[in-house]
Amino acid sequence: MEEKELIEQAGKRDAEAFLTLVKPYVREIYDACHEKYGEPEELFQSVCLRAWHGIPLFQHDMSIEHWLMDLLEDEARKHRKKSAKNREVGEKLSEEQLLQLVRGSILGETERSSPLYFLKRIRFTLIALIIVVFLLLVSHCQERSGEVVSQTPAPAASVEVTEAPAAAFAPGA
């Protein structure tokens, strides 16, 4: 698949197309995060998320590599403002670990945008509380409908019983 097609597919939230698109650059971005800024994982994930969100608006007047590096510099500037403290620089990650970070970042975002995300995040106690309230309401409604039926008087039978003439039942009549 050509780069333009990958960009188009990634813009439609195709995670695999996005991973294929950024794979050649993940090592370069991560190394820059590690060596230049000393904040590898967090900054790397921020760049990947920003790229994931921005890929639908990507302008083809620059290369993907240049665009990703611009995002890196912008995100690094934001991170420096956020945290003035220096963190200890750890080990470098393998390319597979880097791709896992990218996959985890973008798939986590994809999951959060899913309509079922909220339902997945509700705790068991909240679900149990909702069920209890629902059952109480159903029970209350059934009791009230039973009261209404029992309070409604049955219609009085207004049929008068009269004696039929004996001649009507006589043989030969």
From residue 73, how far is each of 21, 36, 62, 70, 170 by CA, in Å? 20, 10, 16, 5, 114
77 or 129: which carries more pLDDT confidence?
Answer: 77
Burial of 72 (0-12, 13-18, 19+ CB in 10 A): buried
- Predicted confidence at residue 118, as pLDDT, reads 47
- CA 12 from centroid of its chain's CA atoms: 17
Tokens of 127: 């679900």
Q: How confident is the model at residue 25 (pLDDT cuts 50, 70, 90)?
A: very high
Contact 88, 40 (CB under 8 A): no
Contact 17, 52 (CB under 8 A): no
Least confident of 5-9, 100-104, 164-168: 164-168
From residue 34, how far is each of 18, 83, 111 by CA, in Å? 22, 16, 28
Q: How confident is the model at residue 35 (pLDDT cuts 50, 70, 90)?
A: confident
Q: How confident is the model at residue 33 (pLDDT cuts 50, 70, 90)?
A: confident
Tokens of 41: 């994982």
Residue 65 has pLDDT above 90, yes or no: yes
- Predicted confidence at residue 41, as pLDDT, reads 82
Considering only CA atoms, which of 99, 106, 104, 98 is closest in space to residue 31?
98
Q: How confident is the model at residue 64 (pLDDT cuts 50, 70, 90)?
A: very high
Q: 113-156, pLDDT tens digit by residue? A: 554 444 455 454 566 667 777 777 888 888 887 655 455 555 55
Distance CA 29, CA 27 (A): 5
Q: What is the mean pLDDT of residues 1-23?
A: 90
